[in-house]
Amino acid sequence: MVVYYQIAGKQVGSHVLAMGVMGTLFGGIYLSTRGGGQKKQATPPIQASSKDEEKFIQDFLNQVN
């Protein structure tokens, strides 16, 4: 037993409406829980000529923040 509804001038069965609602619900859940892409590095990499210089730059940046 199917109930038909008049939507936008067409008759649509209740089972079609139910499938559309469930598809939208599960599709929305899938899209919202699938996670994001890889995290991008916030700052460019440090181009230091030596380890001491790299350490100095890192210490300076940590003091500023």
pLDDT tens for residues 5-15?
A: 999 999 999 99
**3-class secondary structure, 11:** strand
Residue 65 has pLDDT above 90, yes or no: no
Q: Which of 20-24, 39-43, 56-60 has the highest mean pLDDT?
A: 20-24
pTM for this entry: 0.52
Residue 51 has pLDDT above 80, yes or no: yes
pLDDT score, position 35? 80
Angle at 39 between CA 34 and CA 42, to 5 degrees: 155
Q: 11-17 long-range contacts, Cβ below 8 Å, gap at least 24? A: none
Residue 59 has pLDDT above 80, yes or no: yes
Domain residue extents for the chain: 1-34
Q: Are 14 and 4 in contact (CB under 8 A)?
A: yes
